[in-house]
Structure formats: C-alpha cells, structure tokens
Structure 1
Amino acid sequence: MRLLTHNMLTSHVKGAESGYPLILEAAEVILRNVDFNPEFIKRMLSKVNWDVLYQTAKAIGHLNDIPEQLQPNVENDEEFLRKAHHVLLEVEVKEGHLICPTSKKKFQISNGIPNMLLGEESSS
C-alpha cells in the first residue's frame, strides 16, 4: 500500500466518530521504482492531506526531506516534486496494519493490500 493510498483511506466502523486518518503500523516497508510524472504529482497535491502524509512518513522512517508544511508554488519546484513523488508513490507498506483512530479496530495489510472489510476475519 502506497502512502498516497493511505492518505485517502478512512475507516467506516459503525459508531466511530472519525475514521481519519488511519494509524499506520508498518511491519515491512519496501521501495519500488516508479517513473516520475510531475504532472500527476502536481494534480495530487491538492488532494493530499499534507499533515497526514508528513506524520505518516515520519512515523515509518521515510520522510525523504519533504517539508513539514506545504509551501506556496511547490508545483514549480522539481526537486520538491521528486521528493513528494518518492514518498507518495515509491514507499510501499507491504505488511502491517491500519488502525481506526476512534474504534481502534485493526485492518490488516498483506502483500501491500489493505483489507478494509468489517468482518471478524479483518481484525487482529
């Protein structure tokens, strides 16, 4: 699961006040080479919750020198776009858990795929 995906996911556990952001427990993180596409990164910047991305990347040890806060006009800074590309698309959580911040329900990540089903088989 890429950090871009994590940034977009929310928990829908019944009765949970807020399912976002999910807490990420990474047991195994891998790096994958992905072709750099600056236009894609520029489009994604408006959709990403930067604070969540920064805190998650920091928690799993993959900040890659991204700034704590998004600065104006970053879409014209190729060095920044490359760093954001790396964190968003090349850092992949292969094994671990996503945890609902309210209910504390755990959702397993196995082979890079988060299981967000609410049945008993998805809890740990």
Structure 2
Amino acid sequence: MIEKLRAALADTNVRAFLHVIRAGEGTADDDGYRRQFGGELFTDFSRHPNRAITKTLGDKQLTSTAAGAYQFLGRTWSECQAALNLPDFSPASQDLAAVFLIARRKGLRACHSRPS
C-alpha cells in the first residue's frame, strides 16, 4: 500500500490537490508542516504534538489537537501512523498520511483524472 501512496505523490494532480488542502488549512507556507491549531509552531517532528490548544473565535472557545500541513487531529494521526507504520511526523510522513486519507475516501481517482 505504501508504494501506491508514494506513486500517487509523484502525480502532479495529487500534489496540486494537496496544495489546495494546505491552502484551505492555512498551512501552504514554508512553516505549514510545523503549524499547530491557532498558528503556533512546533519543532519536534519525531511525533505528532498531540497538544490540545484552545483558542477564542468571536464568543466561542475551540479546542483542537490539529497539527501539521493537513491539520491532522491527534487521533487521526494515530490511525494513519498505525495503518502505514509511519516512523515520525516529518513532512514526508504527513504527505503520505494525507494521500492515505484521500485514498480511503475513494478520492485518488478524481485527483488522477485528466480533463477530456
């Protein structure tokens, strides 16, 4: 499975779709792979930070463990890491996990499709 995900990462359309996700998450810049919910940066790529951060938006408080380029929640990352045997939370691992989640939802075919 991991080789299929790596092959998918080489596809220009898949890379473009990942960029769209990052833009939507506010992580398309150089620090995106290190960004936690609320904008703080982490430095240790050995594991998902899994730190619950609370931010106030308007009159609401939101708490999230989201981190990385695709804003993986801690529990989602744990699931991806176990399924793919990922060694860390590096940019390469984050990209593989993002493609895994797209594939799991049957979205890779649409990413690969070329307009006719």
Richer in strand (by share) = 1
Higher relative contact order (CA 8 A, sep 6+): 1
Richer in helix (by share) = 2
TM-score > 0.5 by shorter chain: no
Per the normalisation by structure 1, the TM-score is 0.28
